[in-house]
Amino acid sequence: MSARQPLLILGTTAFSAEIGDVAAAAGYEVVGFIENLSPERCRETHAGLPVHWIDDAAELTATHVAVCGIGTTRRSIFVDQAAEMGFTFATVVHPAAYISPTTTLGEGTIVSAGAAVAAYTTIGRHVMLNRGCLVGHHTQIGDYCSLQAGANVAGSCSVGEAAFIAMGAIVVDHLSVGSHSVVGAGAVVVRDVPDNVQVVGIPARVVREGIEGR
């Protein structure tokens, strides 16, 4: 896939505009945004670019690729909509990020400036690695995970699908974070985190159960 292929960003939030900036730095030609909640939003531009209504975007699938610019793990809903219409997805890596050549990135994943991913690690599909986050060696990051700015997941860890690791959180080595769980900002995880819970604090402790990501 050519980095100069026209790219559309799913979402019209301020964060979506930032993802457009990351994609442009990575060499993509960012040509617009796609909205799926309010057709009226399409009457205005976003970050100086046109906004397309999701139902009208099918005609663009043959010539454009997409990436999801939504920070929550629930972006899977929007991604599924776009995939059903026929979009393929770009994998976007900022030139100021480091990815080991022994690591793999899934389609639709975004790696922002200052992020670093160590050796023999697998990053799933539509993962968000935000500014300055760190992922250690031999770690598995599941589809639709979000690692926010400054998060640090150590080596030989496993992070389940659609988990959300907030700004500045730390997961020490050889641990797992369950699917759809949330690790709060600044938390330090020193034991395995089960599925569908929220943990906060130092050391991290469960404060909510039965959640579905963030």
Q: Which amino acid is at 203?
A: P
Q: Given the DSSP bridges, would you call strands 29-35 and 140-141 parallel, antiparallel or unpaired? A: unpaired
Give the whole-angstrom CA distance, residue 93 versus residue 22: 8
Q: Is the pLDDT of residue 213 over 80?
A: no
Sequence-distant (≥ 6) Cβ neighbours of residue 55 within 8 angstroms:
none
What's the mean pLDDT when you consider all of the chain?
95
What are 53's two structure tokens? 């209504």
What number of other Cβ atoms are within 10 A of residue 13's Cβ?
A: 15
Q: Identify the helix (H) or strand (E) that includes residue 25.
A: helix 14-25
| pLDDT-derived band at 47, boundaries 50, 70, 90 | very high
Q: In what order do the strands lie in the sheet with 29-35?
A: 51-53, 29-35, 6-10, 65-68
Q: Is the pLDDT of residue 152 over 70?
A: yes
Express as a percent the part of the chain with pLDDT over 70: 98
* Residue 186 to residues 126, 129, 199, Cα–Cα distance (Å): 24, 16, 11
What are 112's two structure tokens? 């922002």
pTM: 0.94
- Counted residue by residue, the chain has a size of 214
Sequence-distant (≥ 6) Cβ neighbours of residue 48 within 8 angstroms:
none
- pLDDT given for residue 2 in this prediction: 45
Give the whole-angstrom CA distance, residue 132 versus residue 152: 9
| pLDDT-derived band at 1, boundaries 50, 70, 90 | very low
Give the whole-angstrom CA distance, residue 43 versus residue 50: 8
User: Which residue out of 137, 138, 174, 180 is catalytically annotated?
Assistant: 137
Tell me what the mean pLDDT of segment 100-117 comes to.
98
Domains by residue range for the chain, with CATH = 6-90 (3.40.50.20), 93-209 (2.160.10.10)
- For the stretch 160-206, pLDDT in tens is 999 999 999 999 999 999 999 999 999 999 999 999 999 999 999 99
94 in catalytic set: no
